[in-house]
Amino acid sequence: MVSLHAQNSNYDLPEKLTTSNVLKTDGLIQPHLDEFLKQCKKYNIDFSEKLFNLKEIALVDTLKVSSSGGTLGMLVRNKDKEVEKIIFSKITLLDNEILRVVAFHEFGHYFLGYKHICKDCDSIMAEVNTSYFDIAKDWEKQVERLFINSPEYMRTRSLSVNE
């Protein structure tokens, strides 16, 4: 079993059944991953090594969600604290906009180096989002801000200035 630690929550998931080094991605998440990686290319953010290190991106029914809140997505770390999976609650399937915002949020943590930027501020990287639909209405600007304000983008910009 894998023990998960994120946002002060612990979950047990079975080990991945296959032993291949191929990333296993749920087909419902794949379009959002493709869109996110296109944005990485647009902003010259290299994602290949991190993508290669992932084992799985999956929808699960083990994340705790209730009427008062819960965890809709999280990074799963191994015993060495390296991210090996990104998981999403099946609750995100209630609306494609919710899944897209949560997917970009988790991908922002993993690929862009984000921590949460606020408690609840209508941003993709907020700790809590009370309105995924407000974010979705302003999607293009939200994505642009997500990338140009990211730790990874800032790092690559400072490297190019110093070269």
For residue 71, pLDDT beyond 50: yes
Percent of the chain predicted with pLDDT > 90: 69
Query: Which pLDDT belongs to residue 102?
Result: 96
Average per-residue pLDDT in the chain? 84
Tens digit of pLDDT for each residue in 73-112? Answer: 999 999 999 999 999 999 999 999 999 999 999 999 999 9
Query: Which pLDDT belongs to residue 122?
Result: 87
On whether the CB atoms of residues 64 and 7 are closer than 8 A, the answer is no
Q: Give the separation between CA 105 and CA 43, rounded to whole angstroms.
A: 17
